[in-house]
Structure 1
Amino acid sequence: MVKRMSVAVLAAVTLGLLVTPPGQAAGAARYVAMGSSFAAGPGIPPQQPGTPAACGRSTKNYASLVAGERGFALTDVTCSGATTANILTTGQAGQPPQIEAVTRETRLVTITIGGNDVGYVGSLFTYGCQNTGGANCGQVDQDAVRAALTTVHEKIGAVIAAVHQRAPRARVLVADYLTIVPRTAPACDGVPLTPEQLAFEREVADRLAAATRRAARAERATLIPAAAVSADHDACAAVPWMERYAAAPGRVPYHPNEAGMAAVADLITARLR
C-alpha cells in the first residue's frame, strides 16, 4: 500500500471522487451527487477508482453520465446503504457526512435518498432470502416500515434544506427510486415474492415516491420522477432497468442496471436543458 498521499488525493478519498470529464472547460460548474446505492450504482462496472469499495460508486452511475454529458466538475459522495443521517450527520465507510461536500461554489446537487430510512430494499432482500430457502434471513416488520414512511418526507426535506443553506445558488434535483417490482403483473421467476409480499412492496414504493415528491415540493427542489418513468421497466419487464433477486455474478440484486442509470441521467439532462 502507498504510505503517503498528496493533500489533493487525500481530499478526494475523504470527500468523494472529483470526476473531471474529458475536455472539461476551466471553471466548469461544480456538481455534487449525494444519496444511497440507487445513486451510487453498485455492481455496475467499472467502479470508480479511489473510493471506498463499500460505497459501490460506478463510473456509469447517473451522476457520472450527467457530468460527462454536460461537462460538470463532479464530486460524487454517493454510498450504498446511506440513510438521510449519513448525508447530514453520520459518517459512513470512513467518510464524513455527504453534506460536507456541498459548498457555496456548488451549482448543482442531485439526491436519491430515503429508501434505507424505511427499509425498502432491505425488506425485499429479506423476503427473497426467506422464499429461496436462505438461512438467517431475519424478518420484515411491516408495521415499522409503515411507521417510518409517515415521517420520511421530513427527513428527505431536511436534506434538501441543508443543501440550500450550504449552497444558496445551487439547483437541487431529487430523483426518486426506480421501480423494482411489477406495478400490476404477478412476480416473475427471479423475483421471489408471494402475492401478499408483492402488494406490500408496491405500497412501500408508492408511499416512498409520494414522500419524495412532497419533500421536493416543500423545500423548492426539482423532482426527477424515476419511479414513474420506469414503471414498465421493473425487474420482471421485457426490458428491465433493474436486477432481479437472482442476479448474475457481480451484480447487486434489486438494484439499477446500466439502462436504469442511463434513463435517470437522461431525465436529469433533459430537465437541465
Structure 2
Amino acid sequence: MSRRMSTAVVTALVLALTMATPAGAAPPPGLGPVGKSVALGSSFAAGPGIPPRQPGSPAGCGRSRNNYASVVARHDELDLHDVSCSGADTNNILTAPQGGRPPQIRAVTRDTALVTITIGGNDVEYLGSLTAYSCQNSQGKNCAAVDQNRINRELRSVASSIGKVVDAVHRRAPDARVLLVNYLTILPLTGPVCDGVPLTDDQVWFERLVASRLEAATDEAARRHDARVVNAATASRQHHACSSDPWVERYRTQPGRTPYHPNKTGMSKVASLVEATIDAGHGR
C-alpha cells in the first residue's frame, strides 16, 4: 500500500471509521518525517506470529515488523518507539513492569507526536477466555479456567482503566495525537461458528458480549478522555475468523501462528485505518 492511497481506498476506509476525510487533507502538524511515534498495548498491537520479529524485541512480547504501528511508521517516516507486548494490560502500561521491562508509558515523552494504543483485552480476559474455552473443548491439557463473574466485574471498570492510560499519555505528551485502536472482530456476529473455532453456543454468546462491551468501553474512554478511536472492530465485521477473507486466525491454525490474533492481512488493514485517520487530521 502506498502512502498516498487512492481516493476510493481512503473513502472506503473512512466509511469504516464513520468519519469523513477532506479531499487532499495534509497530515496534521507534528507528524511529518521523523516525527516520534509510540506504540502501546497488548498482543493485538504487537503482532505475535506475524514474521519477521522486530530486531531486539523480547521473545515474550512477540513484536512484529509488520504490526500496524511498524507499517505506519515506515510509510509515514516516523521514528517509532514500539513497546507493545503480548499479555499486557492497562497496569503494564501505567505502573506494573512486565517481564523485567518498565511500564510502557515511560516511552512517551514530551516530543512524542503520535501515540497508538490497543489495550483492555487482557484486563477482561478476552483472548484468555476464548483460548481457555477452545482448549477445554479440544481436550487440551492444562487448560485455564474461565471465571465469567470476574470478567463481568472487570468489564464494568475497563473504560475507566483505558481512560487512565489516555490521561497519562496526555500528561507526558500534551501535544500528541492519541489513537485508540480497538480489537479486530474475531467471531461472526450471528449464527454458528466454524471448524477450527471450538466453542459451544453459550460460549460464543458470552464471548460476543465481551467483545461488544470492550468495544463500547474503548469508545467511552476516547469520548471522555480526548482521544480518537480507530474502529478496527467495525471495519473487520465481515473478516472474522470464520469468514472467507479472515483478518484473524482461528484457534486451530498453522504452526507459528497465534490463535485468535491478527494475521498479516489484518495488521495491514489496521495500518491503513490508522493512516486514514492521521491523513484526515483526526486525533487530539
Q: TM-score, normalised by structure 2?
A: 0.86
Q: How many pairs are equivalent?
A: 249
* Corresponding residue for residue 232 of structure 2: 226
Match of 1:64 among 64, 70, 79: 70
- Shift of residue 94 of structure 1? 2.3
User: Does 2:216 match 1:210?
Assistant: yes
CA contact (8 A) 1:52 1:93 kept: no
The one-letter amino acid of 1:124's match is: L
Does the alignment pair 1:185 with 2:191? yes
> Which residue of structure 1 lines up, in the alignment, with residue 97 of structure 2?
91
Deviation at 1:229, TM superposition (A): 0.8
Does structure 1 residue 41 correspond to structure 2 residue 47? yes
Could you tell me which amino acid in structure 1 is paired with residue 223 of structure 2?
R
CA contact (8 A) 1:34 1:112 kept: yes
How far is 1:27 from its partner? 6.6
- Segments of structure 1 that go 5 or more residues without pairing to the other structure are 1-25
Q: Within 1, Cα distance between the matches of 2:65 and 2:144? A: 33
1:199 and 2:205 are equivalent in the alignment: yes
Question: Residue 92 of structure 1: CA displacement?
Answer: 1.1
Conserved in 1, the CA contact under 8 Å of 2:33 and 2:77? no
Partner SS for 1:114: coil
Query: 1:109 aligned to 2:115?
Result: yes
Match of 1:173 among 179, 192, 196: 179
Does the 8 Å CA contact 1:235/1:241 hold for their aligned counterparts?
yes
- Out of 57, 79, 89, the position equivalent to 1:73 is 79
Mapped partners of 2:271, 2:176: distance in 1: 18
Report if the CA contact (8 A) 2:33-2:78 is conserved: no
Matches within 5 A, 1:158-169: 158-169=164-175
The separation in 2 between residues aligned to 1:265 and 1:202, in whole angstroms, is 24
Determine helix, strand or coil for the equivalent of 2:152: helix
Distance 2:97 2:269 in 1: 30
In structure 2, C-alpha distance between the alignment counterparts of 1:165 and 1:46, rounded to whole Å? 34
Tell me the secondary structure at the aligned position of residue 189 of structure 2.
coil
Offset at 1:52?
A: 0.5
CA distance in 1 between partners of 2:191 and 2:270 (Å): 23
Q: What percentage of aligned pairs have identical amino acids?
A: 59
Question: 1:22-37 maps to which residues of 2 (within 5 A)?
Answer: 28-37=34-43
For structure 2, which runs of at least 5 residues remain unmatched after alignment?
A: 1-31, 280-284
In structure 2, what residue type is equivalent to 1:208? L
Provide the residue aligned with 2:275 in structure 1. 269
1:260 matched to 2:266? The reply is: yes
TM-score, normalised by the number of residues in structure 1: 0.90
What is the Cα deviation at residue 185 of structure 1?
Answer: 2.5
**Deviations, residues 103-129 of structure 1 (Å, cap 9, x unaligned):** 000010000000000100000111011
Name the SS of the counterpart of 1:214 in structure 2: helix
Is contact 1:55–1:93 with CA below 8 Å preserved after alignment? Answer: no
Higher relative contact order (CA 8 A, sep 6+): 2
**CA deviation string 1:118-172 (max 9, x = no partner):** 1000001110111001122132111111110000000000000000000001000
Residue deviations 1:59-80 (CA, integer Å, cap 9, x gap): 0000000001111000000000
Who is 2:152 aligned against? 146
1:53 aligns to what SS in structure 2?
coil
Residue 251 of structure 2 aligns to a residue in which SS? Answer: coil
Question: C-alpha separation between the residues in 2 aligned to 1:74 and 1:243?
Answer: 26
Give runs of aligned pairs for residues 244-259 of structure 1, distance below 5 A: 244-259=250-265
**Partner SS for 1:185:** coil
- 1:98 positional shift: 0.3
